[in-house]
């Protein structure tokens, strides 16, 4: 991984600073052992996990003051795991997952960078066989529905890990696939609402004109 160029930055969430080591940009690539290729991750999509996306910032700001008391929380498709790092600073019971083979390493380094406790991480795909993750009271994610076929496998994965009483929050930038996903979630017993992200001008350099906060509760 020595050929990768990275950047260090600090994001503010009220009185809390989150320090991040991310990829320098979305042109970075390193897969000498072919681990990502074996998982079906191309050189074009390889760096997407390692940068900060606007949807991820929206989710992290939402989690900075969200009611987390007594909740077991799962971040799905965490990427650089900004929301997990914010929740970890709040001493939440947070577990992170991602398909990318380097996501866990970056999460560990960023956890240490913030001098915080380790965050449990599981590398898993939504179409994988049942995992030992268990059940959660709150499941979160951002920009997950970037391909049409993701609606089916993601809804099944979430249902597999949602407690009988569970809230799911997904920030969607408007790629056009969330309507089908929402219909599938309703068939699984979830009530669905959606709204526009609020107060994003305070921290986003570029607005999310089609962005939605998707909520599913049962």
Compute the CA torsion angle 202, 208, 209, 213 (nearest 10 deg).
-100
Please report the pLDDT score of residue 203 as a whole number. Answer: 92
Contact 31/49 with Cβ under 8 angstroms?
Answer: no
Contact 4/15 with Cβ under 8 angstroms?
Answer: no
Q: What is the CA radius of gyration of the chain?
A: 16
Crossing angle for the helix pair 150-161 and 178-187, nearest 10 degrees?
A: 40
| C-alpha span between 93 and 71 (Å, rounded) | 7
The helices-and-strands tally (H runs, E runs) of the chain is 6, 9
pLDDT by residue for the chain (218 residues), tens only, comes to: 557 999 999 999 999 999 999 999 999 999 989 999 999 999 999 999 999 999 999 999 999 999 999 999 999 999 999 999 999 999 999 999 999 999 999 999 999 999 999 999 999 999 987 778 999 999 999 999 988 889 999 999 999 999 999 999 999 999 989 999 999 999 999 999 999 999 999 999 888 889 999 999 99
Contact 121/97 with Cβ under 8 angstroms?
Answer: yes
CATH number of 50-217: 3.40.50.150
Interstrand relation of 121-123 and 136-142 (parallel, antiparallel or unpaired): unpaired
Please report the pLDDT score of residue 1 as a whole number. Answer: 54
| C-alpha span between 172 and 150 (Å, rounded) | 13
Task: Dihedral sign for Cα 187, 188, 193, 197, please.
Answer: negative
| C-alpha span between 119 and 73 (Å, rounded) | 11
C-alpha dist (Å) from residue 95 to 40, 175, 189: 24, 26, 24
Closest CA to 79 of 93, 59, 63: 59
């Amino acid at each position: 991984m020595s050929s990768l160029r990275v950047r260090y930055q600090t994001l503010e969430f009220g009185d809390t600073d989150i320090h991040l080591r991310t990829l320098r940009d979305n042109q970075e690539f390193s897969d000498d052992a072919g681990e990502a290729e074996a998982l079906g991750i191309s050189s074009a999509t390889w760096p997407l996990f390692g940068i900060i996306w606007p949807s991820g910032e929206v989710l992290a700001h939402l989690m900075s003051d969200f009611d987390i008391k007594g909740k077991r929380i799962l971040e799905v498709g965490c990427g650089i795991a900004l929301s997990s790092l914010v929740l970890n600073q709040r001493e939440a019971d947070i577990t992170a997952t991602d398909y990318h083979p380097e996501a866990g390493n970056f999460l560990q380094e960023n956890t240490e960078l913030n001098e915080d406790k380790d965050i449990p991480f599981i590398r898993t795909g939504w179409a994988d066989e049942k995992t030992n993750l268990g059940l959660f009271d709150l499941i979160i994610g951002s920009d997950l529905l970037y391909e049409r076929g993701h609606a089916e496998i993601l809804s099944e994965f979430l249902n597999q890990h949602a407690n009988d009483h569970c809230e799911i929050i997904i920030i969607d930038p408007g790629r056009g696939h969330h309507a089908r996903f929402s219909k599938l979630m309703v068939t699984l017993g979830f009530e669905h609402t959606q709204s526009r992200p609020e107060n994003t001008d305070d921290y986003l350099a570029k607005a999310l004109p089609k962005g939605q906060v998707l909520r599913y509760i049962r």
